[in-house]
Structure 1
Amino acid sequence: MLAPDILLERHPKEAVRVVALDFLAQACAARDRLGDPSDTEALHDFRVAIRRLRSTIRAFPRELAESVRGKARRRLRRVARATNGGRDAEVQLEWLETQRPSLYSRHRPGAAWFRDRLREQKLRSDESLRDEVATDFEKVSARLQRALPCYELTHRVGDAAAPPRFADALATRVRAAATELSLRLAEVTGPAAADAAHEARIAAKRVRYLLEPVAPAVDGARDAVRRLKALQDALGELHDLDVVGEELAIALGDFQRQQQTAEAASMDAASAEASPAEPAEPENERPHPTPIPKAALERDPRPGLAGLARRARTRREALFVELSSTWFAGAAAPFLAALEHVAQALAAPRAGGAGDDGVPREIERKYLLSALPPRARDVPPAEIEQGWLPGEQLVERLRRTRDGAGERFHRTVKMGRGVSRVELDEETTADLWRALWPHTEPRRIAKRRHPVPDGALTWEIDEFLDRPLVLAEIELPSPDATPPFPEWLAPYVVREVTDEPGYTNYELAASR
């Protein structure tokens, strides 16, 4: 697949096909492993690839309208549904295995009985899945492999408008999916809202699948994907505990009906053996029912099924309490704000992008201000700490950003001076940042950044915390762009300092 930063700049029709073809290839690779009983991850990988493919098709119906028709969507839906039974049985078997070491001896017969029942269900589901793969998936995969690599564009002569970017289309989808997630989380009003929690999990999954292919190239996206996966896993466990509870109740009911049928058949057989001429005994002289042998009681699965159901309920109650403190009842607000930050990063005009040599570039102008403009003071700021690791030819910058969306950590290398400079930037982990930060001690700065939108661009007003200095930066689409100063900024501009080395962050850090 194309590199994420390149993918974001491609036409939406091309980019979404690249993503869909990658998911389709993953599904085909996992399909080839389904027949191997020793491959315990094959079903999971196939199911995830199908879900990601369907989610992509669902999110971009217009872009894919030429290639993905209704019949293809229906076939993919049938394939996805065919994986449900096997996946549920597999998850329940894994949960049962985690409970086995701590089971009481009286519960073990029930666990063994339930395990055998789940294995039979999985065998039937696997057989059904093989049939579905042999029919629907083979047909739809062949159709999509032919259709997805091609698309049509219409260009109007004289139209000088810039072509659409996948980044913009993706930003729109991320915002819509985040709104859906917010609504679904708000509907989880208590432990009994199992359906609402399941819908919230699906909504979280859709946001995650949108962001994953481009996360390395979008500010804040990696952390968002990580947290979405954690939410998805927790809500998934909640749903799985609901399913196992339902399955245990069904299993208990089935066993009791089997017992009743067997006892009725035994009584009928006993009645048939009795002589028809033999007079009936008086009610008070009839013998008491024969006690159930101890060995039979020890094999009775009902205590074990009931004990397993209690364990599932206890874990579910504890898990819901955990989720309530981090995601439900308004607790998700900071994370939803972080998703909006990611959408803004996607929709922001690319400042420079890749140069003719394919190397990413930063194109910006910098201005010295006499003071912090009141308009900037009204904007919630981000607290930024920057430090530089020692180096001769290669100097790497570490940055921590803290705002309403949380904390983000970056590693950056910049080369060159003036308006256009090479910039290599990637998001990193908190652990790695903290491990490297002590080595930046000679060169550090701290500042408060106020981002002020101005049409399609954003002025970043930096208020330094260790000296009386205020700078304004603006990232531009080309080196020759010179945007006018907005009214709120113009009175505070002293001069442009883009080409003055003393105003680079690196030199400012050395002069503190």
Structure 2
Amino acid sequence: MTDPRTPTADDVRRLLSEALRRPAQEGARLMALHWLHQLAAARATWQALQEAADGPGRGRDVERANASSEALHKARVALRRLRATVRENERVLDGAIDKKLARALSALGQATNAVRDADVQRAWLETEEARLPEGARGEAQRLREWLVGRTSHSTAAVNDAFARHFDPFDDQLFARLGSYRLLRRVGSDSTPMPFARHLATRIARAENRLRRDIAQVIDVSSQDAMHEVRIRLKRQRALLSPFARTRPAIGAWFDLATRGQDLLGAIRDADLLARRARKAGLQVLEVALRDIVLAHFAVFQQHWCDRLEEVLRTMEAAVNALRAEGMPMSPNGLPMEIERKYLLRACPPAARTVPPVRIEQGWIPGQALRERLRRRTAPDGSVTCWRTVKLGPVEARVEVEEITPPEIFDAMWPLTRSARVRKDRYVIPHGAHTWEIDVFLDRPLVLAEVELGDLHEAITLPPWLAPYLERDVTGEPAYVNAVLARAEA
């Protein structure tokens, strides 16, 4: 890192605490720089240990080997998270990592995989050996010795990969990630989209993919599907790691994703070792390893496949926390809701492909102040209740809300009998925005809403929505939910 203007590792650690409120272009770069600094530090440590291995004091070979393995592990984690950060934030990184740099990082990842996998599998065997049946322990020791030899053989290849794919490019990576340009319109008071809002969109888009991948895990033979789930959880952790310890909802999803990744990693390692044992003719060990695979899979099935909706609710809570942190603020520091609303001819078929959320809203009578109660029933039957107050013009108003216990909601709900709305909401991420399609249950009315970062933010209608558009009704009083509310018997 030769450019003195590039943020140091200490600078990045300090700035990360406020990255979610910074422009998306800057937040993404701060995250990428965070992992790049960690990769560079781990690479330097690993290189020093390799050079020391050729010097005096070889009696400490075991100690050095363990330290070298740990350094390579840190480098590999940082590299994987750097690549995930680049991939998930490609749009706001504006080409900072071009194809040449991306290929170099990919080649480095492939080169480190073999030696690190051998290290992990060897360590796994050492940990599990005492639990193996007596007849499998000798075979496990033989397989472990083979893995040690493979690690030693791959070290030179890893050294070569760093020399070819990282050392010539690290200064260039730091320089490109250390600055960015932000296009601003003269005379406009618009503010750039905060990183929290961009990150919320990325996490939300992964929810449907994660649901699909987990649904494809049918039995223990679904190794490809489990691998896809594991990769998705790795990417989630890479995106959220810097914020997991300071934001409870984000931390809860990060910890759950960590446990899922670890469990799937144990399944993968045991399965790969079982295949190696079969190739080597270690039949007793293979049977023992297959039993371990089944045991780990049973845990995954119980805590993930059978509780998928509970898992996704934890993920959704992290998305909501990011959206709240990325909301625009009024001059006095209160969160604002800036949205556009459209009248549709019908509900687009694309919306019907996702399970709807049932929403019941009611307004407590008032003149200057009308409090709204909302009950939200998810597709799995879980219920969340809210109390909300909105003030100001429809297109940009202060919004203050909080989750309320069901017993308080039930006590206050009768007060809203004169003004209620019931509808099904279909939530569909598209690009940088999340579209909400509301199908009212007591009249032939379909509305589409999208929240914005500022009043001047440009919107591109999704191709699946445009054919059903009647007109923009933002600001029309007749389409405000409080006006649409009707009395119920």
Rate the CA distance shift 1:488–1:78 in 2: closer, same or farther, 3 A. same
Aligned partners of 1:224 and 1:338 also within 8 Å:
yes
Aligned partners of 2:214 and 2:226 also within 8 Å:
yes
Instruction: Find the counterpart in structure 2 of residue 325 from structure 1.
Output: 302
Aligned partners of 1:351 and 1:363 also within 8 Å:
yes
Report deviation, 1:251: 2.1
Per-residue Cα deviation, 1:160-187 (whole angstroms, up to 9, x for no partner): 3222111111111111122222221111
Report deviation, 1:32: 1.6
Question: Secondary structure of 2:218's partner?
Answer: coil
Aligned partners of 2:104 and 2:166 also within 8 Å:
yes
Instruction: Find the counterpart in structure 1 of residue 75 from structure 2.
Output: 46
Rate the CA distance shift 1:215–1:177 in 2: closer, same or farther, 3 A. same
Q: Where do residues 33-432 of structure 1 align in structure 2 (5 Å cutoff)?
A: 33-35=45-47, 36=49, 37-39=65-67, 40-102=69-131, 107-218=136-247, 220-252=249-281, 305-328=282-305, 331-348=307-324, 376=373, 378-380=375-377, 404=382
Aligned partners of 2:105 and 2:166 also within 8 Å:
yes
Range that drifts further, 193-202 or 140-149: 140-149
Instruction: Find the counterpart in structure 1 of residue 351 from structure 2.
Output: none
Range that drifts further, 336-345 or 221-230: 336-345
Question: Secondary structure of 2:175's partner?
Answer: helix
Question: Secondary structure of 1:309's partner?
Answer: helix
What letter matches 1:163 in structure 2?
A: P
For structure 2, the 5+ residue unaligned runs are 1-12, 50-64, 337-362, 416-452, 454-474
Rate the CA distance shift 1:466–1:179 in 2: closer, same or farther, 3 A. closer
Rate the CA distance shift 1:169–1:405 in 2: closer, same or farther, 3 A. farther
Instruction: Find the counterpart in structure 1 of residue 29 from structure 2.
Output: 17
Rate the CA distance shift 1:354–1:147 in 2: closer, same or farther, 3 A. farther
Question: Secondary structure of 2:373's partner?
Answer: helix
Report deviation, 1:306: 1.6
CA distance in 2: counterparts of 1:106 and 1:468, whole angstroms: 63
CA distance in 1: counterparts of 2:79 and 2:19, whole angstroms: 21
Aligned partners of 1:370 and 1:470 also within 8 Å:
no
Instruction: Find the counterpart in structure 1 of residue 20 from structure 2.
Output: 8
Rate the CA distance shift 1:80–1:491 in 2: closer, same or farther, 3 A. same
Question: Secondary structure of 1:160's partner?
Answer: coil
Instruction: Find the counterpart in structure 1 of residue 448 from structure 2.
Output: none
Indicate the RMSD between aligned Cα atoms, in angstroms. 3.8
CA distance in 2: counterparts of 1:318 and 1:43, whole angstroms: 30
Aligned partners of 1:75 and 1:137 also within 8 Å:
yes
Per-residue Cα deviation, 1:303-354 (whole angstroms, up to 9, x for no partner): xx2221111100111111111112125x211221222232222223667879
1:29 paired with 2:41, answer yes
Report deviation, 1:45: 0.7
CA distance in 2: counterparts of 1:121 and 1:209, whole angstroms: 29
Instruction: Find the counterpart in structure 1 of residue 467 from structure 2.
Output: none
Rate the CA distance shift 1:458–1:5 in 2: closer, same or farther, 3 A. farther
Aligned partners of 1:218 and 1:346 also within 8 Å:
no
Structure with greater Cα Rg: 1
Per-residue Cα deviation, 1:165-213 (whole angstroms, up to 9, x for no partner): 1111111111112222222111111111111101110011111211222
For structure 1, the 5+ residue unaligned runs are 253-304, 382-402, 407-447, 478-482, 493-512
CA distance in 1: counterparts of 2:17 and 2:119, whole angstroms: 38
What letter matches 2:24 in structure 1?
A: P
Report deviation, 1:236: 0.8
Report deviation, 1:239: 0.9
CA distance in 2: counterparts of 1:114 and 1:41, whole angstroms: 21
Question: Secondary structure of 1:154's partner?
Answer: coil
Question: Secondary structure of 1:191's partner?
Answer: coil
Aligned partners of 1:31 and 1:46 also within 8 Å:
yes
CA distance in 2: counterparts of 1:325 and 1:224, whole angstroms: 18
CA distance in 1: counterparts of 2:111 and 2:155, whole angstroms: 9
What letter matches 2:373 in structure 1?
A: A
Rate the CA distance shift 1:452–1:404 in 2: closer, same or farther, 3 A. farther
Per-residue Cα deviation, 1:122-171 (whole angstroms, up to 9, x for no partner): 11122211110111111232220121112112222123322211111111
CA distance in 1: counterparts of 2:164 and 2:74, whole angstroms: 19
CA distance in 2: counterparts of 1:463 and 1:104, whole angstroms: 52
Given the two structures, how large is their TM-score scaled by the length of structure 1?
0.62
CA distance in 2: counterparts of 1:105 and 1:185, whole angstroms: 36
Aligned partners of 2:130 and 2:137 also within 8 Å:
no
CA distance in 2: counterparts of 1:5 and 1:354, whole angstroms: 22
Rate the CA distance shift 1:20–1:349 in 2: closer, same or farther, 3 A. closer
Instruction: Find the counterpart in structure 1 of residue 482 from structure 2.
Output: 487
CA distance in 2: counterparts of 1:468 and 1:174, whole angstroms: 32
CA distance in 1: counterparts of 2:314 and 2:383, whole angstroms: 4
Instruction: Find the counterpart in structure 2 of residue 274 from structure 1.
Output: none
What letter matches 2:37 in structure 1?
A: A
Rate the CA distance shift 1:134–1:4 in 2: closer, same or farther, 3 A. closer
CA distance in 1: counterparts of 2:329 and 2:99, whole angstroms: 37
What letter matches 1:94 in structure 2?
A: A
Report deviation, 1:461: 7.7
Report deviation, 1:84: 1.2
Question: Secondary structure of 2:168's partner?
Answer: helix
CA distance in 1: counterparts of 2:330 and 2:40, whole angstroms: 34
Aligned residues: 361
Question: Secondary structure of 1:41's partner?
Answer: helix
Instruction: Find the counterpart in structure 2 of residue 386 from structure 1.
Output: none
CA distance in 2: counterparts of 1:469 and 1:362, whole angstroms: 28
Aligned partners of 2:111 and 2:161 also within 8 Å:
yes
Aligned partners of 2:119 and 2:151 also within 8 Å:
yes
CA distance in 2: counterparts of 1:468 and 1:38, whole angstroms: 60
CA distance in 2: counterparts of 1:105 and 1:338, whole angstroms: 42
Report deviation, 1:375: 6.6
CA distance in 2: counterparts of 1:213 and 1:158, whole angstroms: 35
Aligned partners of 2:25 and 2:93 also within 8 Å:
yes
Report deviation, 1:98: 2.4
